[in-house]
Every structure is written in C-alpha cells, then in structure tokens.
Structure 1
Amino acid sequence: MHKNPRTTRSISCLLLGCLATLIILSGCSRSVRWSHPTPSKELIAQALADLHGYHAYRDYDVEDHSLLDEQEARRLLANPALLRDTTPEFKFITVSGSTIEIIGFTKFFCSPDTNRIDRRCIYHYKGEVTGARYSLPHMAPNIDALKLATRPQLLEVRLITPTGEQVSHPAFNGTLSLENGQNRRYNQVSAFVPPSRGRPGYIIF
C-alpha cells in the first residue's frame, strides 16, 4: 500500500514533537509544579490572629498606630461628623472562631450605583470564614498573601455626606484579601466586588 508522503511527514513531525516535549519535561521535572500548594491551618490561624485587633494606616496601607490611637478611633465611629479627609484610615477587626467582623473607616468608596468615588465611609462587615487559598498560588509559599472565602452575614456601608449619612447594603461575594507587611505580620484586609452585569468592580474597604 502506497503512503502519501505528506501523511508520512506529518506523522514524523508529530512523533518528533511528542519526543521533544517528553525530553523537556523530564529534564525540568524537578522545577515543574504540577499542583498549587494549599495554605496550612497554622498559617490561616496566624493570619487571623495577626488581624485581630485595631489597625490604623497611613498612605499605601502602611500600618502606623501613632497617627490615631484606638480610643480616638472609637470616638470618631460614635460621632462620624468628626471624620475628615485628613483622618487616617482605620479598622477594628474581631476574630472569634470562624467568624470575622470588621468595622472601619475609609476615605474613598467606589459607589456601584452611581459609578463615582464617594468620600468618607464607615463600613461594617461580618462573615464566616469557609476556606482560604494563596492569592498568587504559582508563587506560594514564597509570597504568602491569602484570600479568605467567607459566607457574608452582614455588610453595611454608611457614606458620610454634607447632608448626613446614606446607608447602603451592597452585594458582596465574600472574598477577603489578606496582605502582610515587611515584618511578615498580616495587617491588611480588603474586600473587592468583581464586575457584574456591566458594572465595574469596586473596593468596599
């Protein structure tokens, strides 16, 4: 039976390609990652323990409690009219078992309804932690930033406006991003709502 030269050439090229792929993979097998790591229970517990408590920030989310002490922050939450654009951003984070609760102040809140940035917002989030993964799994564990999956129980946003407060309860998918600073301590947590139905994504806190 006579074989088509083109068919024979195609089969030969295919076999050579498969052989080259096997050689490359066998040579790099020690550095190829076939599955991404999962954060340990100990790392998740450390992250939640680090977050528990009071946090004040200067620019670029750098923690600096000298800017605003805990007692003054509580006074501002009780009387939001005292909040100014110069007030440092701060958070109170409570972790109890698998429940995380966050009450804080941010200077910028992207409103999903009006697609604009509003100023001065107090937010209150409460949710149950249901799982965790590395934010950048292909670089873990060298970079151990985390994403917590949570089951939202409460989300309230109070926009501080010149005419008073506007309260909203935006939809949220329950994913919190955890970052740690140069001292390897987890001190930053944020919530991002992904884009949906033509709306852009936005950060709640």
Structure 2
Amino acid sequence: MTQRQITLVNNSTAPTALALLQGDSVIWLAKYAYPGTQVRFTWDDTDYCFVWAGTGQVSPGVILDVSQVVPASPNDNNQIDFSYDAPNRTFFFGKPQSGTPTGTLMIRADNTVPVDAVAVGIGMAGKPSAVMSAQPNMMYRFTPRPDYRLAFGNLTQSEVVDPAALPTFPVSFPPNVYALTATLDEGHQWTVVSDILSKAEADE
C-alpha cells in the first residue's frame, strides 16, 4: 500500500475543472476550481478494482455511471467473469479468481453479454480509469501501470474523452516522493513540484 497525493492549484484567470487521468481516455478524478483555489486528490495506488457501467457504446462525452465495483489485485484475484441476466435486465460480475498471466487484470465477457450495451474496465480507488465496450465471448486485458496525466477544461469525473482533442500533461512521482503540487498558470501551463514534507490528507 502506497498513499499518493496530488494538489492541483488553479492560478489561471478563469474557473475550470482540474483533472487527473491514468492514461488518456477517461477522466479518473476531477474537481471544479476557481482562480486562486486548489483541490487535492489522495489515493492508494494498489487499490485496483473491476468496474462496469451501463452506458452503451463507449464514446467521447459519455459519463461512466458505474454500477458495480469489485476489488482486484494484479497478482491475485486478477480475473473475473462478466454476464448479463436477461430476465432481470441487469449485468453482474462473478467472483474474482486468479488467472494467468499475473500482473494483468482480465475481464471475461460470456455469451450472454449483448453487443455494445455496457462498458467494462478497471479503476483505482473505486473510480473508473480505463474501459472498453463489452462484446460477447471476449477477454479484456488491462495492464495496471498508471500513466498519470493532468488536464483542465469543461471536464467531468468519469467522463470518456477523445485523446486527440484533450491536451494532457504527464506527471510522475520521483523515487521516494509520494506527494506533488501541480499549478496551472495564467498561460495554461503546468508546473509540478514535489511536496517532500507534506502529509497525505483525505480528499477535500
């Protein structure tokens, strides 16, 4: 378990959503911030999960309203079955189990799953971070290697975005550093510094 924290500061001239992604296609965490204010995100970077959301086909602008979250681990309980209960018109995950290869999180959609009716994927801290449109009889593999990116704009947490249309700024934690502060300036440029002495706190 490693507790990580990023404080995002809006020093631009307009209110905007400040966001954190784990990749380039889903807004993992986001909060609205006025100029001169800040938001803080804190999470455990081993807190992986499987998620599904009944959003239809995954496309930019879709908000992932997650219906089920199941804890996952890349080295144990890294595979799960996904099914559709047609009489009751709902989807559900089975019980997680160990699968191969380890280090990968896998979702196996069975033959009951309708085409392009639901999104399946993985998340961290209970929030989706990577998803795909589910198809019947398919195995979906996700490599849990967070690629943290910053973004700002008219964004909503759990929103699917078009990577080509959303500029992002990569951010990484230096060795033995677990807290960062990223500041958005008047020119819409990011500056990131390490918070060597800061103590992790709960989300504000």
Give the structure-2-normalised TM-score.
Answer: 0.29
Larger radius of gyration: 1
Bigger share in helix? 1
Bigger share in strand? 2
